[in-house]
């Protein structure tokens, strides 16, 4: 379809796809282990180490009422034969990149939404590859044949409705939402199905009798702005199909936006020394991954949760970009000490390196701080090599020997965060 703009210039209607790899983590694990393919499978943490949260599930597990985010012990009460697999984020990152390689055959406008979801703008590619639905079906077939997993793809004229389409039929399906049918298809859906309507917003909307996306679309926008502020207007535009946000170009920014680790410790942390050991364990893992991907971090974030499950997060800028574990840990410790008063013991800690920049060919510097950081980086790369050959515990900091129970965490919850255009 072509749209005539002001001045008589023709503009093609956008064709946006949203591809969602079905039950991504669980599907990848079943692919690597054929023996569990026909069993109820979840990807989650170690119950005994207090990491017992469901991160993903397959469709068989879903039939037992198992939900993402619930405790593993609760899921096992619903299904005695449940298979629990530890997450392997490096494996998921590899498959995420394989999917992006397929998408890049059709467009360079690819925007990640987590590891398993991407938007694609194929407007300029339709003359070459055919309609949005045809491309979506071809992508699904390629993902199934080349990767061994399945995907659901939404096709629409904007990102919000493309995302809705990918959620409507699972697994391995294409759903098309057009300007002609969106009121019939979308407006009858529960309002919480609309992207970025979180739990709090959902409660507020229900309070005012807004139950469906159609109710939201037909509510006076002035009331929504009064109830929800600027976000009320944004949600109103989404519901009415007026989202015009662009799909990011794959080369515009780095694919990986942050690298982090978090851990629920085997015992509660009760003093600064406990926290220091844990933060250094996390920082070493993060720094090694930064160096592996050739990134420097400009910002450090921390996440703290106490033993009563109250939590908070803080972040701070580094003086110079780094992949050095000492600098990351020092900033994390500073953020912790400035913001925690030890009212309660600590149950879990997360550290994340953010605002990443590439450093494929770093220049040598004679500035004292930078030169020192570069020397330390070379030392840590040497440590990476030793650990790669002889194992992680072949070389350790003396600090780690103060409490081997904490220092032997060897955190598995490493994760890579991809860019999104909006935040709940």
Q: What is the CATH number of the domain that holds 246?
A: 1.10.150.20
Instruction: Write down the pLDDT at residue 422.
Output: 28
CATH number at residue 362: 3.30.1490.100
Residues 263 and 242 in one domain: no
d(CA 133, CA 130): 8
Average pLDDT, the chain: 84
Same domain, 341 and 391: yes
Tell me, yes or no, whether 69 lies in a domain.
yes
In the sheet with 174-176, reading across from the earlier edge strand, the strands are 110-112, 117-121, 16-21, 151-156, 174-176
Which domain-ending residue is among 46, 66, 88?
88
Segment 65-110, tens digit of pLDDT: 999 888 888 899 999 999 999 888 888 989 998 999 999 999 989 9
Predicted pLDDT of residue 363: 44
In a domain, 370, yes or no: yes
Picking from 88, 105, 120, the residue at the C-terminal end of a domain is: 88
- Residue 253 pLDDT greater than 50, yes or no: no
Contact 287, 324 (CB under 8 A): yes
239 and 290: one domain?
no
Same domain, 203 and 338: no
Question: 46-50, 145-149, 285-289 — which is least confidently predicted?
Answer: 46-50
Does 388 lie in the same domain as 282?
yes
347 close to 50: Cβ distance less than 8 angstroms: yes
Tens of pLDDT, residue by residue over 149-175, are 999 999 999 999 999 999 999 999 999
pTM of the model as a whole: 0.64
Does 117 participate in catalysis according to the annotation? yes
Between 50-64, 92-106, 240-254, the lowest mean confidence (pLDDT) is in 240-254
Q: Which two tokens stand for residue 150?
A: 């399945």
Query: Do the domain assignments include residue 104?
Result: no
**Confidence tier at 245 by pLDDT (50, 70, 90):** very high
Q: Is residue 229 part of a domain?
A: yes
Q: What is the pLDDT of residue 53?
A: 81
Using the predicted structure, report yes or no on whether residue 144 has a pLDDT greater than 60: yes
Distances (CA, A) of 149 to 44, 90, 143, 397: 19, 17, 6, 41
With contact defined as beta carbons under 8 Å apart, do 203 and 192 qualify? no
Given a cut of 70, is residue 420 above it in pLDDT?
no
The distance of Cα 10 from the centroid of its chain, to the nearest Å, equals: 37
The answer to whether residue 15 sits within a structural domain is no
The last residue of a domain, from among 202, 221, 252: 252
Choice among 29, 111, 117, 284 that is catalytic: 117
**Residues 132, 1: Cα–Cα separation, whole Å:** 12
Domain encompassing residue 365: 258-417
240 and 270 fall within a common domain:
no
- pLDDT, position 69: 81
Please check whether residues 375 and 292 belong to one and the same domain.
Answer: yes
Same domain, 208 and 287: no
| Encoded tokens for 43 | 């990807």
pLDDT reported for residue 150: 97
315 shares its domain with 375: yes
CB neighbour list of residue 46: distance below 8 Å, 6 or more residues apart: 52, 86
Residue 359 pLDDT exceeds 90: no
Is the same domain home to 264 and 245?
A: no
Check which CATH number belongs to the domain holding 57 and give it. Answer: 3.40.1170.60
Whether 335 maps to a domain, the answer reads yes
Nearest one of 112, 90, 101, 111 to 143, comparing CA atoms: 101
Neighbours of 385 (CB within 10 A): 9
Residues 301 and 235 in one domain: no
Instruction: Evaluate whether residue 242 is within a structural domain.
Output: yes
Total of domains in the chain: 3
> Considering the domain boundaries, does residue 424 fall inside one?
no
* Long-range residue pairs from 35-40, CB within 8 A, at least 24 positions apart, any chain: 36/83, 36/85, 39/81, 39/83, 40/64, 40/66, 40/79, 40/81, 40/82, 40/83
| Claim to verify: residue 265 and residue 218 sit in the same structural domain | no
């Amino acid at each position: 379809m072509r749209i005539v703009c002001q001045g008589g210039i023709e503009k093609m209607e956008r064709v946006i796809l949203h591809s969602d790899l079905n039950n991504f983590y669980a599907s990848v694990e079943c692919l690597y282990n054929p023996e569990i393919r026909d069993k109820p499978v979840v990807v989650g943490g170690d119950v005994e180490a207090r990491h017992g949260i469901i991160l993903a599930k397959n469709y068989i597990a879903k039939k037992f009422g198992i939900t993402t985010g619930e405790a593993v012990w609760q899921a096992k009460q619903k299904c005695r034969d449940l298979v629990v697999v530890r997450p392997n984020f490096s494996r998921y990152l590899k498959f995420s990149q394989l999917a992006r390689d397929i998408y890049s055959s059709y467009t360079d406008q690819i925007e990640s939404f987590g590891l398993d979801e991407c938007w694609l703008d194929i407007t300029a590619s339709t003359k070459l590859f055919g309609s949005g639905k045809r491309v979506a079906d071809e992508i699904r077939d390629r993902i199934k044949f080349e990767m061994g997993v399945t995907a659901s793809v939404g096709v629409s004229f904007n990102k919000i409705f493309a995302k809705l389409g990918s959620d409507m039929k699972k697994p391995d399906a294409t759903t098309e939402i057009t300007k002609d049918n969106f009121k019939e298809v979308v407006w009858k859906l529960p309002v919480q199905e609309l992207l970025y309507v979180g739990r709090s917003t959902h409660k507020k909307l229900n309070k005012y009798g807004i139950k469906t996306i159609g109710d939201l679309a037909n509510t006076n926008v002035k009331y929504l702005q009064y109830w929800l502020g600027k976000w009320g207007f944004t949600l109103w535009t989404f519901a009415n199909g007026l989202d015009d946000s662009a799909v990011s170009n794959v080369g515009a920014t780095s694919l990986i936006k942050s690298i982090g680790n978090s851990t629920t410790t085997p015992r509660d942390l009760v003093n600064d020394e406990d926290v220091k050991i844990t933060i250094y364990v996390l920082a070493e893992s993060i720094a090694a991954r930064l160096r592996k991907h050739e990134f420097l971090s400009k910002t450090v974030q921390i996440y703290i949760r106490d033993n009563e499950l109250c939590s908070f997060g803080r972040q701070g800028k580094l003086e110079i970009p780094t992949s050095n574990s000492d600098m990351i840990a020092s900033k994390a410790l500073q953020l912790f000490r400035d913001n925690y008063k030890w009212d309660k013991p600590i149950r879990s800690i997360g550290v994340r390196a953010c605002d990443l920049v590439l450093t494929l060919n770093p220049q040598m510097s004679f500035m004292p701080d930078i030169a020192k950081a570069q020397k330390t980086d070379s030392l840590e790369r040497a440590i990476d090599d030793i650990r790669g050959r002889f194992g992680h515990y072949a070389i350790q900091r003396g600090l780690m020997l103060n409490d081997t129970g904490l220092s032997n965490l060897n955190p598995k919850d490493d994760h890579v965060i991809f860019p999104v255009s909006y935040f709940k």
